[in-house]
Amino acid sequence: MMLASPTDARTAKAAGLQPSDAAPVRPGKIGIMLVNLGTPDGTGFKPMWRYLREFLSDPRVIELNKAIWYPILYGLVLTTRPKKSGANYARIWNREMNESPLRTFTRAQGQKLATALADLPDVVVDWAMRYGNPSTASVAQRLVDQGCDRILTFPLYPQYSATTTATANDQLFRALMKIRRAPAIRSVPPYYDEPVYIEALARSIEQHIATLDFVPEVVITSYHGIPKPYSDKGDPYQAHCLETTRLLRARLGWDEKKLITTFQSRFGAQEWLQPYTDVTVEKLAKDGIKSIAVVNPGFSVDCIETLDEIGREAAETFHHAGGRNFAHIPCLNDSAEGMAVVEALVRRELSGWV
């Protein structure tokens, strides 16, 4: 142990630094930041262009060299895709609040979590987007301004991927690089195999199927895809998705023919994780399957990929190929089951801080 010399003591005294005069250092508040993928601010060309530019410029999402990708992005994608994507968003837009359902549900999750954690007075709950608004940087600064010296970030992706969880965490640390007194950070890990999550999914599926006037012959767990080369390089996403389905199958008591796994939302020409959702839906109908349901375990809340791509496009594909009954099972959203998952994981990860 090092002891202060008399000279050090005299110097400190001359500077007016007396231990008895110092204000006690008290721990600050703890911020909880729910982070979802993101959303455009509107369905018009300009807000869609801004959103897509930020999203598709992320090197975690598109791993092509910028010299190759940017001419394609700015020369083709951003001149054609905003209009098409805007039309898709317009079909599901929350017109009452003038925002996308993803923003509506994520806000609701934040509000309900804050209510659930009312017994922890030093905890502040907020929510942010990786792309779009409210930005990760603005919410991080808001938490710091409220006195948070610790932040628990919760990327709302059950299955880990560098294209989702990692880039959400990247963005937070970029924001902290501009904050002089940066808070301590924890990140909620992937929860693809957490019993509370599997139970919530199973109950949601059972409850929704009970409302249908038909019994699905096949239920599809459709996850957002990633390019196959990303998986080949070591991204564990595919394994996490398959494990979620396996555990869900065991909980529901269904076999491998009743509950199957597919991947959706592929973009570009390269191979993505298979089997593809749209191809599978069409094949099931052509093979004589008349009734199916689709659930999206990889999405914490309903969004463009679930409400439009599955709820509309997949349904149309199935019906055109000869299928009769199609149901989209909603995401957990801010339901009681969904909030039980969020609260349980947050309370666990706060251990030692509260």
Sign of the torsion angle spanned by Cα atoms 87, 317, 221, 55: negative
- C-alpha separations of 310 from 107, 176, 329 in Å: 23, 37, 10
Q: Indicate the annotated binding residues for Fe(2+).
A: 224, 305
Alpha-carbon span 112 to 20, nearest angstrom = 44
Tokens, residue 192: 């693809």
d(CA 156, CA 195): 16
Q: What is the dihedral of CA 148, 149, 155, 161, to 10 degrees?
A: 160
DSSP state of 198: H
Helix, strand, coil share (%) of the chain residues, nearest 5: 50, 20, 35
SS3 (DSSP) at 298: coil
Known binding site: residues?
Answer: 224, 305
Task: Compute the C-alpha angle 107/108/114, nearest 5°.
Answer: 95
96 to 37, 207, 256: CA distances (angstroms): 22, 27, 41
| Helix (H), strand (E) at residue 40 | none
Q: Which phi and psi angles does 240 have, rounded to 5°?
A: -65, -40
Strand locations in 181-312 (E) = 184-187, 218-224, 259-264, 291-295
Count of CA atoms in the C-beta half-sphere (13 A) of 275:
13
* Paired tokens of 262: 């597919």
